[in-house]
């Protein structure tokens, strides 16, 4: 076993014993109790490697929970709105836009010197009723999408590091998903959305985002889609690997690393955009599940650090108190802080991984 892996594993197991050995239920703690003794954080270590590490966020938690704000600002240097920048929340009526919650996210990021990922401009979910039930011609639908992109991207011009322009364009088998946009406009809606976003903010990075990040037929289709966009001269800077581990996404970090390499050959960055790891995907005791979860986070973070075309790593939340899986499939403790904002073994594993690369020069 390599020395780095042995040290990291030892730290993970020690952290596991500390967390699990606490018999009382999770309770709120003071922010000063959460800081590491050294003062180092995920954010500070990532910054030493010119890397972005971050989380999807919820505006209500930003408003209502001081610990949520404190941990978010301390540990991360990039954020993404979990829901409030999707089409339906932003554009609930054809002539109405609601920017209050998305503004909250952007303003928080500004106040704490954080970057922002815009999520999402074009998706088959989270569409308002007026759009889903409308009887629009192709030209009308193109006009609606272009106007939406111009309005939203234009409002935040110069404030968004990267936009998730087209989310989940593929079915599980790799075929183009027959979304409202696909059926109403045609497959060229992807090119159009990217071009319109570039026009609305020439300086933001543009990416397409999907799951199925290993080596399989879907990832081949996603690669071929990106390749065709590049060859046509469509503006595209990156692809996003969602990494909802155990839910449609790849579990093999080595496969993900191999997949990343071919995007480098296209001149594209790869972002890890939505990672979470429910412990129930692992067998054994809770201690063993937490240790396995920690290893998975460490492995995927290592893949991103080692890849020359990956410098952005986001999770779909950071505390088990606020996880989409709680309402979707039941609570499965998928994130790196528990419900009381205590760091879990996964947090310590990520810290150890970043420290190792800082110490080695991260070549």
In tens, the pLDDT along 101-127 reads 999 999 999 999 999 999 999 999 999
Q: Flag whether 327 is in a domain.
A: no
Q: Flag whether 282 is in a domain.
A: no
pLDDT band at 301 (very low <50, low <70, confident <90, very high): very high
| Catalytic annotation present for 213 | no
Q: How many domains in the chain?
A: 1
Helix pair angle (217-231, 253-265), 10° resolution: 20
Residue of 65, 75, 82, 168 marked catalytic: 168
Domain ranges, residue 148: 38-273+309-318
| Catalytic annotation present for 274 | yes
Is the model's pLDDT at 82 over the cut of 60? Answer: yes
User: Each residue of 191-225: pLDDT tens digit?
Assistant: 999 999 999 999 999 999 999 899 999 999 999 99
Half-sphere exposure of 312 (CA within 13 A, CB side): 27
Q: Flag whether 220 is in a domain.
A: yes
DSSP 133-154: T----HHHHHHHHHHHHHHHHH
Distance CA 128, CA 119 (A): 16
**Contact yes or no for 35/74 (Cβ under 8 A):** yes
Is the model's pLDDT at 283 over the cut of 70? Answer: yes
Q: Flag whether 29 is in a domain.
A: no
Is the model's pLDDT at 38 over the cut of 60? Answer: yes
Q: Flag whether 238 is in a domain.
A: yes
Q: What pLDDT does 360 receive? A: 66
Residue of 274, 298, 339, 353 marked catalytic: 274
Q: Flag whether 266 is in a domain.
A: yes
Q: Read off φ and ψ for residue 254, nearest 5 degrees.
A: -65, -40
Q: Flag whether 98 is in a domain.
A: yes
DSSP one-letter code for 169: -
Say which range, 29-38, 215-224, 241-250, has the weakest mean pLDDT: 29-38
CATH of residue 147's domain is: 3.20.20.80
Q: Flag whether 337 is in a domain.
A: no
**Average pLDDT of the residues in 313-335:** 88
């Amino acid at each position: 076993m390599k020395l780095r892996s042995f040290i990291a594993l030892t730290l993970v197991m020690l952290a596991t014993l500390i967390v699990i050995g606490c018999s009382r239920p999770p309770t709120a703690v003071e922010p000063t109790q959460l800081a590491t003794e050294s003062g180092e954080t995920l954010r500070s270590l990532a910054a030493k490697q010119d890397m972005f590490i971050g989380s999807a966020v919820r505006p209500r938690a930003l408003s209502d929970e001081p610990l949520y704000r404190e941990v978010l600002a301390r540990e991360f240097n990039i954020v993404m709105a979990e829901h409030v920048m999707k089409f339906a929340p932003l554009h609930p009526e054809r002539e109405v836009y609601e920017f209050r919650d998305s503004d909250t996210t952007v303003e928080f990021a500004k106040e704490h010197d954080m970057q922002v990922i815009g999520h999402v401009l074009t998706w088959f979910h989270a569409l308002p009723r007026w759009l889903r039930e409308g009887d629009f011609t192709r030209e009308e639908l193109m006009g609606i999408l272009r106007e939406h992109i111009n309005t939203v991207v234009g409002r935040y011009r110069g404030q968004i590091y990267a936009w998730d322009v087209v989310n989940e364009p593929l079915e599980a088998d790799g075929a183009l998903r027959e979304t409202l946009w696909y059926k109403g406009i045609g497959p060229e809606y992807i090119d159009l959305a990217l071009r319109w976003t570039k026009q609305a903010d020439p300086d933001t990075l543009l990416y397409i985002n999907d799951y199925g990040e290993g080596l399989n037929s879907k990832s081949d289709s996603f690669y071929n889609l990106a390749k065709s966009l590049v060859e046509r001269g469509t503006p595209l800077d990156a692809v996003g690997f969602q990494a909802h581990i155990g839910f449609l996404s790849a579990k093999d970090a080595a496969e993900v690393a191999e997949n990343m390499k071919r995007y480098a050959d296209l001149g594209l960055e790869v972002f890890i955009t939505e990672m979470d790891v429910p412990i129930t995907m692992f067998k054994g005791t809770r201690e063993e599940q937490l240790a396995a979860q920690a290893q998975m986070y460490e492995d995927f973070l290592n893949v991103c650090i080692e890849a020359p075309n990956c410098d952005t790593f986001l999770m779909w939340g950071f505390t088990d108190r606020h996880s989409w899986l709680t309402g979707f499939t039941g609570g499965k403790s998928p994130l790196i802080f528990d419900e009381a904002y205590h760091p879990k073994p996964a947090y310590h594993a990520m810290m150890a991984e970043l420290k190792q690369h800082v110490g080695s020069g991260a070549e």
